[in-house]
Structure 1
Amino acid sequence: AGSNIRSQGAPGHTSCVKPTDSLSVLLHIILSSISVLTVTLNLLVIISISHFRKLHTPTNFLLLSLAVSDFSVGFVWVFMTFLINGCWFLGAGWCIFHSVLGSVATAASIGTVVLISVDRYVAVCDPMHYQTKVTKNRANICIVLCWVGSTVYHTVMFKDNIEHPGGFDSCAGECTVYFPPHAGVMDLIFSFIIPVSIIVVLYVRVFMVAVSQAQAMRSHVTVVTLQSSLKVNRSELKAARALGVVVVVFLMCLTPYYIVLLKTGFGVKSASSFIFVLGLFFFNSLLNPVIYVFLYPWFRKCVKCVFSLQILKSGSSEANIL
């Protein structure tokens, strides 16, 4: 997503002048607040899942990957404050770093949401084989491949910019990123069309299974021998509903960004609309840990343990936080 960010300096000037109007100050405060909240909340998720062994499950490892990508996006928000009114004061190297990090983090989050959808599909549609099909090692391998693939893909995309930092700026104080003409189409296909198609298809299947199971339980026609598997399904369905909220919110924040890009032909013609949808896409990184607070009791317990410093006690990692 970050690969389409363009920041234009004031045309005809050799350098930017730092904005001092009240609107710019207000935007700095808002962006800074969002950044701090995003980084803090996702750091709590990272600490919680990393510290407590009871939370070391394939599904939670996927949530950990999502939290790391959201944490990185929150960190990128810090740099976004320097792009208000088109002025960049951190140098060409940091400009490229900010752009690459934002792109890699957002692509990794998209890939992780796809993996979460696959995880819930197997858990709900094939619960008897879930433990053997979805293991910690396989989950970790998929997560690593997701991050490595995202990094390699965007390193290639940013190749010209990495080799010539600042080479595409027309004046001092700009942060302009150049991409080959086909980059926008590839970004649309690999970052939106394919992932969203997989997510929607898998979650529609999960929803259909959930509805059929609910009808079976209401009609009391369940065979006694299937009661144990239904218990598994009930817990997995509860997890699927919680993660379904994460997925739906993610799609709501992601879709407007690509709709605007399609309408403008991958060229930013309306700065205000582009900034809004890009901000909405990044704002999703703040919403994810907020969703956990409401849907996961274990996360609320972990937050209490962190702020009360109980995690510093010996053996705290073995505590039954569930």
Structure 2
Amino acid sequence: MEEEVELCFPQLLNSSCKKPKRPQLQLVATFMVLSSITLLTTTLNLLVIVSISHFKQLHTPTNLLLLSLAVSDFFVGIFTSFQMLLIDGCWYLGDFMCVVYQYLSYIVTSASIGTMVMISVDRYVAICDPLRYTAKVTYRRVQLSVSVCWIFSTVLQTLLLWRNLERPGRFVSCSGECVVGIDYVSGLLDVLLSFIGPVAVIVLLYLRVFVVAASQARAMRSHVASVTLQGSVTVTVRKSEMKAARTLGVVVVVFLICLCPYFCVTLTGQDALLNPSSVAFVTCLFYFNSCLNPIIYAFLYPWFRKCLRLIVTLQILQPDSSEANVL
């Protein structure tokens, strides 16, 4: 006797998708992981957003980039919750909501990656050309750059998904499926602008940063015997730059570890050949990057820990709390 096939929509016998057979333990584990990622990502990034937006001392060009990153990663966390609807392999919210979900998630993901590129440029100028940093990186220029990043992400994804937006469900083969489709040329353009290009820029800039940091370290060692008061200040500055360089190294490694598997699988079409557990792991790893970003970029800064104490103790509600000294 043949085993009964479970459908996403039993009332639609001829058009419903079949539920993929997955172990119950895997479904529970995936749900728990995605729930944890959603909670951590939204909470941590919301704390960063509140801190930078509220305290006036934090209204700097670099922190504006961190704010943009936190906003995009916050929404990535929100959209991760929709991924939980697909745990059993079925989408129950209809074709229109499917396209809206995919469209918005692509925009915020693209904006998050674009903001990481801008942060790498900011750190590159700060470490490699510190004397002209304040003249090159102004608050107004960063505001413009952030706006362009979000507008570019929106326009790019609108063009790539236009056929899906025009007719939701165009590429759906059965009820309960949530997919979007783009042609080969558009897909190649998306790969270049959303993955290969940003990764290349980030890696090249960080390599240059490490070269500069290494040369500074050699200079520090060669002049350590004749340190004057001015020299000690220079040594302190260079140590700070070295610390920033090491932090950037962590950023690069985490970024590549989280994003590369996902893009490699989706771009080569291997997602159809991998088992569901592998696909779920790659997807969770991709979303987990947005949870790690606030930890890497914000938790390593003392000012964030001060802001966190003020927020948790509700001192942020006091009059003139925005003027508090958090640096």
Closer, same or farther in 2 for the Cα pair 1:13/1:309, shift >3 Å?
farther
Partner of 1:46: 49
Give SS of 1:86's match.
coil
Deviations 1:37-58 (CA, angstroms, capped at 9, x unpaired): 1111111111111111111111
Distance in structure 2 (CA, Å) of the matches to 1:59 and 1:236: 15
Of 128-137 and 289-298, the range deviating more from structure 2: 289-298
Mapping 1:164-183, distance limit 5 Å: 164-183=167-186
Shift, 1:86, TM fit: 2.1
Whether 2:105 is the aligned partner of 1:66: answer no
Distance in structure 1 (CA, Å) of the matches to 2:271 and 2:29: 27
Closer, same or farther in 2 for the Cα pair 1:71/1:320, shift >3 Å?
same
Shift, 1:13, TM fit: 5.0
Partner of 1:99: 102
Distance in structure 1 (CA, Å) of the matches to 2:288 and 2:309: 25
Q: Which runs of 5+ in 2 are unaligned?
A: 1-6
C-alpha contact (below 8 Å) 1:100/1:158 kept by paired residues: yes
Match of 1:138 among 141, 161, 164: 141
TM-score (norm 2): 0.86
Deviations 1:244-272 (CA, angstroms, capped at 9, x unpaired): 4223311221122223245x347643253
Distance in structure 2 (CA, Å) of the matches to 1:305 and 1:242: 25
Closer, same or farther in 2 for the Cα pair 1:271/1:65, shift >3 Å?
farther
Q: Which runs of 5+ in 1 are unaligned?
A: 1-7
Partner of 2:4: none
Q: Match for 2:321: what amino acid?
A: S
Shift, 1:131, TM fit: 0.5
Partner of 2:305: 300
Shift, 1:185, TM fit: 1.7
TM-score (norm 1): 0.88
C-alpha contact (below 8 Å) 1:292/1:299 kept by paired residues: no
Mapping 1:147-186, distance limit 5 Å: 147-186=150-189
Give SS of 2:217's match.
helix
Partner of 1:269: 273
Shift, 1:60, TM fit: 1.2
Shift, 1:17, TM fit: 7.6
Deviations 1:281-311 (CA, angstroms, capped at 9, x unpaired): 1111111223346522211221111111111
Q: Match for 2:85: what amino acid?
A: F
Closer, same or farther in 2 for the Cα pair 1:187/1:12, shift >3 Å?
farther
Q: Which runs of 4+ in 1 moved over 6 A?
A: 8-12, 17-20, 221-226
Whether 2:19 is the aligned partner of 1:14: answer no
Partner of 2:287: 282
Shift, 1:161, TM fit: 0.9
Higher Rg: 2
Give SS of 1:100's match.
helix
Match of 2:322 among 297, 317, 320: 317
Taking only the aligned residue pairs, the percentage that are identical comes to 55
Shift, 1:183, TM fit: 2.9
Distance in structure 2 (CA, Å) of the matches to 1:277 and 1:186: 22
Distance in structure 1 (CA, Å) of the matches to 2:149 and 2:8: 35
Distance in structure 2 (CA, Å) of the matches to 1:185 and 1:166: 22
Partner of 2:244: 239
Q: Match for 1:15: what amino acid?
A: S
Q: Paired residues, what number?
A: 314
Distance in structure 2 (CA, Å) of the matches to 1:9 and 1:192: 34
Shift, 1:115, TM fit: 0.7
